[in-house]
Chain A
Amino acid sequence: MFDSLSKKLEAAFRKFRSQGVMTEENISEGLREVRLALLEADVNFKVVRDFIDSVRKKAVGIDVLQSLTPGQQIVRIVHDELVSIMGGGEDNSLNLALKPPVAIMMVGLQGAGKTTTCGKLAKYLKKEKRRPLLVPADVYRPAAIQQLKIIGGQLGIDVFDSQADDKPQDICSAAIRFASLNGFDTVILDTAGRHQIDDYLMNELAEINSAVRPAEILLVADSMTGQEAVNIAVGFNERLDITGVILTKLDGDARGGAALSIKAVTGKPVKFVGLGEKLDALEVFHADRLVSRILGMGDLLTLVEKAQSVFDEKESARLAQKLKKNRFNLEDFLSQLQQIRKMGSLESIIGMIPGMGKMMKQAQGDQPSEKELARIEAIIRSMTTAERGDHTIINGSRRLRIAKGSGTTVPEVNQLLKRFSEAQKMIKQLQKLGPKGLMKGMGGFGKRMLPF
């Protein structure tokens, strides 16, 4: 969408290209496009109105920089302003430096993703060297308690043994006592989903709050929420004085404008974002990245960070060495593949690359899916060490054996080998260009993808 927003802005500003200063008149058309873009991203109407006003004030009278078009400059102002509203640079870490056990209460509507997020958060805290206890306090939804128990089992994290006929208030108080007796330092309370207008259930939350005094009350909000996000946020915040927000299901194509609305009306920071169904798909929130998402610019930084945390440094160095000597073989190809898969599903990786979201839609048929990757892995694993080291020795009968061994067909094996030798050739060419040539090639790519 950002691409189209840029284009629309370009068109709106084309006639003013000769003008060096932005005036009230020449930006109003552009701002209308910005307004529509934000509305389409589900940012609340009132928030959009205030926002557009403040951008207008900032933009009027500014000299257009030589290197930018007015359209680009407006986009930049919009981007920076959005980042500052979203609390860019503010501290959004969890406040857990209290006497243990520290309680974290998760609240939200039905289906926002509380139970899954509880599991993700527990995993995150375990990685941070804490000892979390998961507490199922959703006694209404059938099998909700069991769901959290299964998740806890998968993660190797203890789950409090709640029963569906207990009162949620009692479960939470008992869980805190249990935690302090058994040396858990963090207690994560998974409450039932409820509407903010449901007085009975909201009272229940207020009672848990006063009994347990949690250090953090996190509102779990679906990133696909529309204009209603404001009412939800205000409703929960008024009753519970929430301490932060976790935005879920951001791995879809929702722009997540709801987050902007929530932040604008409550002032409470977004602390984490959920990016998938797997239990490690939780990330610390970064304002600038979400703004890029709202504007459709992709999320390259997250990708880089993810790659850094997953890629084995030694392994990477070994690969680089091999690449240099041009002895990249199928064995290396396989290990590279496995490293990429460690970063998460291919779709989520591709989604983070600017411009790729759109390309993915266009080329849905011919991009390699998770399944295809699994097949490639199977094929390579069916090769002998000698074959992996030098693929040129793979003749017809070897191909047949590999196909049989991997449960694929000979044409599929052929296709992989062809792709691999093409990749090898490409690496050779890149080697010739040297690091400078490489940058040149990538530079053009980057420029085209990123708007400024």
Chain B
Amino acid sequence: MSEETKKGFFRSIMDKIAGGESGAEESASFLDRLKNGLEKTKKGVVEKIDILLLGKKEIDASTLEELEEILLTSDIGVKTTVELVRTLEQRLGRSELKDGHALREALEEEILKRLLKHHTSLKTDEKHPFVFLILGVNGVGKTTTIGKLAARYTATGKKVLLAAADTFRAAASEQLAAWGERSGVDVIRHKEGADPSAVVFDACRAASARDVDILLIDTAGRLHTKVNLMEEMKKIRRVIEREIPGAPHETLLVLDAATGQNALSQARLFKESAGVTGIALTKLDGTSKGGIVIAASYEFGIPIRFIGVGEGIDDLRDFDPEEFTEALFQS
């Protein structure tokens, strides 16, 4: 655990803003940071696999079965696990995999392949303003993710505007305003209980008028099964589309890394009704299972854009499949 986290979330952010850590240092330590964040994930999946495969000269069916258990326990999901194990089984049948080491490499390869399948990076420079619509179920970290994104884009010299379209939860817009204050970013907000579409309308108008580069729209947490709330989402989208043609340019679904199989249901339903184009995976620092990231992206063809690997303001990073897999499998 780093010094910063020990100081607590709030204070470490304040320190960061006051101290203004240099960018070079940050990127140099990024792999370490990611590794630290993923430490738990690694211990979960990889160490168990290592223990299982250590010194095994021959791979048999029961080893594969145990491997299946390990993958399942990592929230990778029944479908993906069965697929992975079946692929390994086939390769085993072709005598490609002789020992534990080869099997581990093959597994790494297969996982990377799945992560790369839908991976594309986000180009925020191509549109002006570039509009992010952030959504997800309750309590996954939408507002925090927006706070981090705002700080990040502000740091690269972009003009950012926040829209507090969560008018339902008590003090949600105050929470976003606190984040805005920290990065010196304007926040468009209405009273609690106001129509979120009205906030979005104002925000879109303001974004164009103020010549903003990035507009980040925060929405209320909604369970994907609530038809009326999903309809509200569609209305918000319609307003954005009307005000800024082509927007939202990125509809970002925020997923909590501790979520189990339900993340797949969230990904499916949010994609169907809100046209999700990317995933931000949060709270990856506290859980030992990173598995859902593979399943959610692979099964629904949604690229993973960002991962949150810590509580600091710059612990939200671009998702890099190679780096991710490397960190996951490094021993």
Contacts and interface: CB of A to CB of B under 8 A. Distances in A.
B124 interface: no
Interface in B262-318: 262-263, 265, 283, 285-289, 292
A236 to B, nearest CB: 12
Given A42-B261, A227-B74, A347-B225, A140 B137 contact: no
Interface of B: 1, 5-6, 8-10, 40, 69, 72-75, 78, 137-141, 147, 168-172, 174-175, 177-179, 192, 223-228, 231, 256, 258-263, 265, 283, 285-289, 292
B10 A113 contact: no
A109 interface: yes
**Residue among B40, B179, B261 with max Cβ neighbours from chain A (10 Å):** B261
Interface of A: 36, 39-42, 44-46, 109-113, 116, 139-144, 146-151, 154, 164, 195-201, 222, 224-229, 231-232, 249, 251-255, 257-258, 277, 345, 347, 351, 360, 364, 367, 369-371
B259 A226 contact: yes
A127 B147 CA distance: 38
A203 B223 CA distance: 33
A106 B72 CA distance: 30
A147 B177 CA distance: 13
B72 to A, nearest CB: 6
A139 B9 CA distance: 10
B140 to A, nearest CB: 6
Contact of B260 (A36, A46, A224): A224
| In the complex, the 3 A-B pairs of residues with the closest C-beta atoms, listed nearest first | A226-B260, A111-B139, A195-B286
A383 to B, nearest CB: 25
B137 A227 contact: no
13 contacts: A45-B69, A109-B258, A141-B9, A142-B175, A147-B172, A147-B175, A197-B286, A224-B262, A227-B260, A228-B75, A252-B262, A254-B262, A345-B228
Contacts of A45: 69, 72-73
A116 B292 CA distance: 27
Contact of B8 (A46, A199, A201): A201
Contacts of A36: 78
A355 B95 CA distance: 48
B139 A347 contact: no
Contacts of A146: 170-171, 174
Contacts of B227: 347, 360, 364, 367, 369
Contacts of A222: 139, 256, 258-259
Given A141-B9, A258-B260, A345-B228, 15 more contacts: A36-B78, A46-B73, A112-B139, A141-B10, A141-B175, A142-B174, A142-B175, A197-B286, A200-B6, A224-B256, A224-B259, A226-B258, A228-B260, A249-B139, A370-B228
A257 B260 contact: yes
